[in-house]
Amino acid sequence: MHYTYLVEAKWHSVKTGNADLHVFQGKLEQKVAWARGVFISWAGFTRDGLEAWGKGKRVICVSGYDLVLMLKNNISFRILMEEKIRRAAETRNLYVKIDEIYPDIIK
């Protein structure tokens, strides 16, 4: 089955907190039930923001750190997303760092 993705990206110098994540969740809830979200934050995410936002949402979080290491290690975005989605399904965590997925990755 294919999914529709709503993508939001932030190019800020500070980590994304729960306010931006809640706004994005509101946008996603306006879409069909099978739509998923991808939230990209160059600076990453605050721990408090992710914890306050909760678990089990239809959103996968990607940081600039993830993107840099993905490109540096020649990992396709599709493969990275498949792994992040699998980890999210197993752990209910919306943000899993790339080096937790690939512990031997070149940094």
Predicted confidence at residue 55, as pLDDT, reads 77
Domain locations in the chain?
A: 5-99
Residue 42, number of CB atoms within 10 A of its CB: 18
φ/ψ of residue 46, rounded to 5: -75, 145
Tokens of 104: 């031997």
With 0.85 as the threshold, say if the pTM is over it. yes
Predicted confidence at residue 15, as pLDDT, reads 97
Helix (H, G, I), strand (E, B) or coil at 30: coil
Q: At what angle do helices 77-91 and 64-72 cross, to 10 degrees?
A: 130
For the stretch 21-55, pLDDT in tens is 999 999 999 988 888 999 999 999 999 889 887 77
For the stretch 51-103, pLDDT in tens is 887 777 889 999 999 999 999 999 999 999 999 999 998 988 999 999 999 99
Give the span between the Cα atoms of 23 and 31, in whole angstroms.
13
Nearest to 44 by CA among 4, 14, 21: 14
Predicted confidence at residue 53, as pLDDT, reads 78
